[in-house]
Amino acid sequence: MSQKTILLDHGSGGLASQELIGNLFLKYLDNPILRGLEDSAVLENQPGKLAFSTDSYVVDPIFFPGGDIGKLAVHGTINDLAMRGAKPLCLSLGLILEEGMDLVDLEKIIQSIAQSCNESGVPIVTGDTKVVPKGKGDKIFINTSGIGFVADGIDISSLNAKAGDNIILSGTMGDHGITIMTRRAGISMDGKLESDTMALHTMVAKLLDQLPEGIHTMRDPTRGGVATSLNEIAANSKLSIELKEEDLPVTPEVRAACEILGLEPLYLANEGKCLVVVQSDKTDQALAIMKGCKEGKDAQVIGKLVEGKAGRVVINTPIGGSRVVTPLHGEPLPRIC
């Protein structure tokens, strides 16, 4: 293709669209079902219960240390399925492109999506592309929806969390959120900050294969961070959560960047981490399984569920005091006060 940017024609369904699909999408996302280019993908049924999830991705910048919007879109929906104990089967890919978007960037993103799909073993089986006039979008918006299957006997939900359960966080907090924040104009800083975007379904499958009854709830703390997810778990299970401040894992770089901007890692997005609520007598085992996986090498018990005021999350501070952690009311912003 000699064309350098996306045109409105690319979304019209005509020859230009077909060229884009043939020359770009199928070049990288090739699999028998997608290649069929039918109106729907028809799939083999699997045993268990069907799980279905959707998410849209509008991150700016579209390329950042540790990943890009494409990688995020694949991992995000895989993780949402995994958090209910489902083994992800396949994904759909919906693109809304802005007229004028650089085709070189689009190709990079498609390549990245393909790589993420191949590495996680979850293919894109159906897709759609639309183009909006310049100024009505922001380079690229992506929607991925995914289906998976939850094996019989597995029931993972925030309603199942019980008083006495422990909470494991699979790794360090805030890496993605602070990376995106510092890539925005005016707040740049150098250092080893990168997104933690990662697919977690392999680690989750190991966990559930070995502990089918010990895992009660899982959540991936994306927007709003660990603080918001914990508030949701506490509210849904009508329990309180107690955290130990010293046990919250944060890398020194993320902590330093947060200190400079006045942000708290607890409220920053994570794209490759999960919270696992586990029965107390199975905690050591769960932790060992997670730490044995590369996705969970920094896993840590961070707190537990207790009887108490429904929906309340409290941090116990090193001096023996405490404070309440409320959910985020808006996007975290850098501050001077």
Partner 1 sequence: MKYVDEYRDSKLAKPLVAELQRSVTKPLRVMEVCGSHTMAIFRNGIRTVLPEGFELISGPGCPVCVTSAPHMDAFISMADKPGVRVAIFGDLFRVPGTSGSLAHASSRGAKVDIVYSPMDALELAIKNPEDLVVFLGVGFETTTPGIAATIMSAKIRNVKNFTVFSTHKVMPAPLEALLSDPQLKIDGLLCPGHVSSIIGAGAYQPLVDKYNLACVVAGFETTDLLNGLILLARQVGSGKIAVENTYPRAVTWEGNARAQKMVYEIFEPADMEWRGLGVIPKSGLKIRENYSDFDAEKRLDITLPEAEEAKGCRCGAILKGIDTPIACHLFDTRCTPANPIGPCMVSSEGTCAAYHKYGRS
Partner 2 sequence: MCLAIPMRVTKVSGDPDDFTTSQIATVDADGISKEIRLDVVDRWPEIGEYLIIHAGFAIHTLEEKVAKENIELIRKMAEAMPEELLR
Of the candidate residues 22, 61, 133, 191, the single one contacting partner 2 (CB under 8 A):
191
In the list partner 1, partner 2, none, the entry touching 314 (Cβ below 5 to 8 angstroms by class) is partner 1
Q: How far apart are CA 81 and CA 200, in angstroms?
A: 10
Per CB under 8 A, 192 contacts partner 2 = yes
Q: Kindly state the helix (H) or strand (E) to which residue 316 belongs, with its residue range.
A: strand 313-316
Which one, 14 or 191, has the nearer CB to partner 1? 191
Residue 246's DSSP bridge partners are: none
Near partner 2 in 204-263, by CB under 8 A: 252-253, 255-257, 259-260, 262
Q: How far apart are CA 256 and CA 280, in angstroms?
A: 33
Q: How far apart are CA 266 and CA 47, in angstroms?
A: 38
Q: How far apart are CA 146 and CA 221, in angstroms?
A: 18
Longest dimension (CA), the chain: 68
Considering the complex, what minimum distance in angstroms separates the CB of residue 10 from partner 1? 28
Q: Which amino acid is at 270?
A: N
Considering the complex, what minimum distance in angstroms separates the CB of residue 325 from partner 1? 8
In the list partner 2, partner 1, none, the entry touching 135 (Cβ below 5 to 8 angstroms by class) is none
Angle between helices 69-82 and 201-210 (to 10 degrees): 10
Which one, 266 or 287, has the nearer CB to partner 1? 266
Q: Kindly state the helix (H) or strand (E) to which residue 142 belongs, with its residue range.
A: strand 140-150
Per CB under 8 A, 153 contacts partner 2 = no
In the list partner 2, partner 1, none, the entry touching 253 (Cβ below 5 to 8 angstroms by class) is partner 2
Considering the complex, what minimum distance in angstroms separates the CB of residue 257 from partner 2? 5
Q: Which stretch binds partner 1 (CB under 8 A): 131-139, 171-179, 199-207, 258-266?
A: 258-266
Which one, 4 or 192, has the nearer CB to partner 2? 192
The answer to whether 274 and 136 have CB atoms below 8 angstroms apart is: no
Q: Kindly state the helix (H) or strand (E) to which residue 52 belongs, with its residue range.
A: strand 49-57
In the list partner 1, partner 2, none, the entry touching 316 (Cβ below 5 to 8 angstroms by class) is partner 1
Which parts of this chain interact with partner 2 (CB under 8 A)?
188-193, 252-253, 255-257, 259-260, 262, 335-337
